[in-house]
Structure 1
Amino acid sequence: MENNTYPPYFNLTMFVNIGNYRYPTFVLCLLLYAFIISANLVIILVISREKTLHEPMYIFILCLSVNSLYGSAGFFFRFLKDIVSDAHLISRSSCFTQIYVIYTYASYELTILGIMAYDRYVAVCQPLHYHNKITPKMVFKLIAFAWIYPAFSVAACVYLSSRLPLCGNKIPKVFCANWPVVKLSCVGTGLNNLVGMLVSTTTVFLPLAFVLYTYIRIFLVCRKSSSEFKGKVIQSCLPHIITFVNYSITVFCDVALSRINLEELNPFLAVILSLEFVVIPPILNPLVYGLKLPEIRKLILRMLSCSKHDKQTKPQK
């Protein structure tokens, strides 16, 4: 009865049997993960090494890249193993660890996007007060809040889920998720639902609402301003808008998947939609900020040209 109530393993049931295609799929996903690591590391190195980029906006971009590495590591290490495995069992401790990592990754993304929206709001709507409000001390406080609050709030959700007696061990996902585990409970989950709703409201819906509010205010300011000013605002805010819209869509897909019967969906479509949540943002973020912001783009090109020049001038043995 103990093993049935607290199963030592969970079974990830959404994996599709693709036969010998598993090995090309493994290579493709490994290359994808290598690209995520490389692209985000480039952003981190460029911002860390270049003193001219030690400004609030670029520090927040660096935090996004660090979070992308964190979240993708929590997903890909296990996912790559499952691709080439016949059984998709994951230990109880590993499952709850993955839930914690992926959910904190999602929360960090939204809280960071929220403080980035505040930074853009002050820069556009209150430019004369920008350096008084967005001080290094304030940046530190905002980043600390963006990391600490989700860490503790998600930990509370995971702890409550880990204490539930379960009547099954099948999770219809390609990675461990909190809601599918809660649905396996043999007892009432009122407290889990209450805490989950509170955490979702404070780490998902409030940041989303705040970002929308700031951009409405920015839009109202731009409507009365010159074309040159509008161009500068668009150049500065467009990468953040693209990142925000992309992440909102991926979060919506993941929430929608958790609330419907996945057996009614095409299995390949279900897998693709579930992967969006943990794959698309870590790929898109460095591309958007590396290509759209001229300061970062110029420094990346300079680094690449210097690396190429060093190779060409290296003396031959």
Structure 2
Amino acid sequence: MNSTQVSYLALVAYFDTGLFKYLYFMIVMSLYMLIVCSNVFLIVIICMNRSLHEPMYLFLCSLFVNELYGSTGLFPFLLVQILSDIHTVSTFFCFLQIFCVHFYGSVELFTLGVMSYDRYLAICCPLQYNTRMTCSKVVVLTAFVWLYSVLATVVMMSLSATLQLCGNMIHKVYCDNYSIVKLACSDTTVNNIYGIVYIFTVIVSLIILIVFSYMRILKICFSGSKQTRRKAVSTCTPHLASLLNFSFGAFFEIVQGRFNMSRVPNMLRIILSLYWLTCQPLFNPVLYGLNMTKIRIICKSLGKRM
């Protein structure tokens, strides 16, 4: 049976919440509105103020756009499912959500990697920063991040779409690629090889880049002046916190997909599976909005005018 012959997929992680579903709906709706408002606000702030048209803030703008996109690929679907009594989704929409979720994750990881390189140049090579990180280079890096993520996600989905499925039950509250692969009764060798190649050529390379950047930054902090240490702390703290938050959520998502989590309460499993898709776009505007001096000053001036 080809995957295209499966007309719908059942999301069996949902459970009957009775009247509490309206409370959950309001909570999820409030979180989504908060994510949309905060990310859109910071995108407008960065785009409308020429003083923020610098590499660091342009990368931040790309990060906020991606988080707006990623949360929109998840939250409206969750809201519908919370109110629904039948938790099924068409195969086409399931693959559409897989594209949104994995594309979001790829762009997020790539952007955080590029931002760590940007922070390395700013702190370790301050005299060469303006020549090595020009506006044109920012555009090229951002375009590469988004285009490569599209290509990688499309290839992954193309491999999954050709699989023969022996079931239609996904043990999650949303669709993801590994859940589809686990339903396959045909050979998944190519899918596994692609996953391994992607991990070692992309994810490991990004981890090496991030670790190298922060090792050099720490070296400068310990050997530099107090002003250098202050600059490094103020600019790197939100980025490092964002990176750790994303890694924490992705780790739980991987563990839940690959290992038996039946002993973990269902509600906790749902929260852990949604963590990397909800907490990152929720916390990043707060992290960067409060820690980036220029953004904080502009927000305060807007508050006084209002």
In structure 1, the partner of 2:6 is: 7
Contact 2:245–2:280 (8 Å) recurs in 1:
yes
Contact 1:110–1:203 (8 Å) recurs in 2:
no
**CA distance, structure 1, for counterparts of residue 283 and residue 221 of structure 2:** 27
Moved more, 199-208 or 145-154: 199-208
In structure 2, the partner of 1:288 is: 287
1:150-169 aligned at under 5 Å gives the runs: 150-169=149-168
**CA distance, structure 1, for counterparts of residue 304 and residue 35 of structure 2:** 22
Moved more, 105-114 or 223-232: 223-232
In structure 1, the partner of 2:189 is: 190
Between the aligned residues of both structures, percent identity stands at: 36
Give how far 1:136 is off.
Answer: 1.2
1:100-111 aligned at under 5 Å gives the runs: 100-111=99-110
Contiguous gaps of at least 5 residues in structure 2: none
**CA distance, structure 2, for counterparts of residue 302 and residue 35 of structure 1:** 21
Q: What do the CA deviations read for 1:117-138 (whole angstroms, capped 9, x no partner)?
A: 1111111111111111101111
Q: Does 1:143 align with 2:160?
A: no
Q: Does 1:44 align with 2:43?
A: yes
Contact 2:2–2:162 (8 Å) recurs in 1:
no
Give how far 1:2 is off.
Answer: 6.2
**SS at structure 2 position matched to 1:35:** helix
In structure 1, the partner of 2:97 is: 98
**CA distance, structure 2, for counterparts of residue 298 and residue 17 of structure 1:** 47
CA RMSD of aligned residues (A): 1.3
Q: Does 1:208 align with 2:207?
A: yes
Contact 1:113–1:240 (8 Å) recurs in 2:
yes
Q: What do the CA deviations read for 1:171-201 (whole angstroms, capped 9, x no partner)?
A: 1111101011101111110001111222233
**CA distance, structure 2, for counterparts of residue 18 and residue 262 of structure 1:** 21
**SS at structure 1 position matched to 2:60:** helix
Contact 2:46–2:52 (8 Å) recurs in 1:
yes
In structure 2, the partner of 1:311 is: none
**CA distance, structure 2, for counterparts of residue 206 and residue 180 of structure 1:** 26
Q: Does 1:302 align with 2:301?
A: yes
Contiguous gaps of at least 5 residues in structure 1: 309-317
Contact 2:2–2:165 (8 Å) recurs in 1:
no
Q: What do the CA deviations read for 1:187-220 (whole angstroms, capped 9, x no partner)?
A: 1100011112222334433222311111011111
Q: Does 1:199 align with 2:193?
A: no
In structure 2, the partner of 1:234 is: 233
Q: What do the CA deviations read for 1:222-266 (whole angstroms, capped 9, x no partner)?
A: 111112210111111111111111111011111111111233321
Give how far 1:46 is off.
Answer: 0.6
**SS at structure 2 position matched to 1:186:** coil
In structure 1, the partner of 2:66 is: 67
Whichever residue aligns with residue 290 of structure 1, its letter is G
Contact 2:290–2:296 (8 Å) recurs in 1:
yes
Give how far 1:166 is off.
Answer: 0.2
Contact 1:107–1:203 (8 Å) recurs in 2:
no
Q: What do the CA deviations read for 1:149-176 (whole angstroms, capped 9, x no partner)?
A: 1110111001110110100001111110
**SS at structure 2 position matched to 1:128:** coil
TM-score norm. by structure 1 comes to 0.94
In structure 2, the partner of 1:81 is: 80
TM-score norm. by structure 2 comes to 0.97
